[in-house]
Amino acid sequence: MNATQQAAFTAATGHAPGDVNTLIGGIVLVLVFVFAAWLIARTLSSLYHGRATELDLLWIGIRASALIAVAIYVVN
């Protein structure tokens, strides 16, 4: 964005473009963390009821960690 576009954006929204970018990135990261926690909780429930194994929990944990790492990389 050039200076004129930034001034217009700030006038229209009342916030700087960088602040809005940080807000959207934060919301995306919160959603990714909630989704990863939900995945792990569902797998733990399945493990408790005998529908999953410890290896399933390990793989879901690794995938959730990778998803979080990629999301953090993309947001930054």
Q: What is the pTM of this model?
A: 0.87
- Please tell me the total count of domains within the chain: 1
**The pLDDT of residue 34:** 98
User: What pLDDT, on a 0 to 100 scale, did the predictor assign at position 76?
Assistant: 87
Residue 32 forms part of a structural domain: yes
What is the per-residue pLDDT for 1? 86
pLDDT in tens, 7-65: 999 999 999 999 999 999 999 999 999 999 999 999 999 999 999 999 999 999 999 99
Asked if the structure places residue 44 within a domain, the reply is yes
What's the DSSP call for residue 2? -
Could you give the CA distance from residue 47 to residue 34 in angstroms, rounded to a whole number? Answer: 20
Question: Is 66 a domain residue?
Answer: yes
Residue-range definition of the domain harbouring residue 29: 16-75
Q: What local confidence, expressed as pLDDT, does residue 69 receive?
A: 98
**pLDDT score for 14:** 95
Cβ density class 8-41: b for 16+ within 10 Å, e for less: eeeeeeeeeeeeeeeeeeeeebeebeeebeeebe
